[in-house]
Amino acid sequence: MIRISRLTDYGIVLLTHMASHGDHVHNAAEAAAEAHLPLPTVSKLLRLLTKQGLLASQRGVKGGYGLARAPGQISVAQIVAALEGPIALTACAASGASDCEHETLCPVRGHWNLINLAIRQALESITLADLAAHPRAMVLPMLRQSRAVASASAAR
């Protein structure tokens, strides 16, 4: 099974919550309560996501955290990469060297790169604005293309 970490899951929940509340600035306690997440985890996420440039922090009495860019300019791929590192399903498909002894002779290595690219593109096509929208209102380009191919195949 392919999974993202709980921290990344919570990060996506937190950022989606922030995206659905416009330009509102959130302190850690408020964000944790409203997003129904544990405060220590939210505090960690706020630091990490600010360091990665997805959140902006404001000091002062009315300070807190807000999105660094518009929700439509932050993709799920950026969030996953910020919290998990490069998006890759296998070590050989990640940038850099792997310790696989079969890497140079592997007949599917190039295919793993294709699979990773497809997953990365899918995650890049989904933004916080999409996640903050009502689920039925969200139509992804990939789904439209898949439905068109399925319809064409069914017609034959």
pLDDT at 136: 58
pLDDT at 7: 96
Domain that holds residue 143: 6-85+125-155
CA gap 6, 50 in Å, rounded: 18
Is residue 69 domain-resident?
yes
User: Considering the chain, what percentage of its residues have pLDDT values greater than 70?
Assistant: 79
Is residue 112 domain-resident?
no
CA distances from 127 to 41, 99, 114, 115, 156 (A): 22, 34, 22, 20, 35
Residue 11: give its domain's CATH number: 1.10.10.10
Q: Where are the alpha helices (DSSP H) in 28-138?
A: 28-35, 39-51, 76-84, 109-124, 128-132
Is residue 47 domain-resident?
yes
CA gap 126, 76 in Å, rounded: 6
Give the count of domains, the chain.
1
pLDDT at 74: 97
User: What is the rounded average pLDDT for all residues in the chain?
Assistant: 83
Burial class (CB in 10 A: 0-12, 13-18, 19+), 123: middle
CA distances from 34 to 1, 86, 125, 128, 129 (A): 30, 30, 27, 17, 18
Is residue 1 domain-resident?
no
Is residue 139 domain-resident?
yes
Is residue 26 domain-resident?
yes
Is residue 13 domain-resident?
yes
pTM of the predicted protein model: 0.79
Supply 153's token pair: 């195949």
pLDDT at 139: 57
Residue 85 has pLDDT above 60, yes or no: yes
Residue 33 has pLDDT above 90, yes or no: yes
Model confidence band, residue 83 (pLDDT cutoffs 50, 70, 90): very high
Residue 140 has pLDDT above 80, yes or no: no
CA gap 125, 132 in Å, rounded: 14
Residue 156 has pLDDT above 90, yes or no: no
Model confidence band, residue 102 (pLDDT cutoffs 50, 70, 90): confident
Which carries the bigger pLDDT value, residue 144 or residue 68? Answer: 68
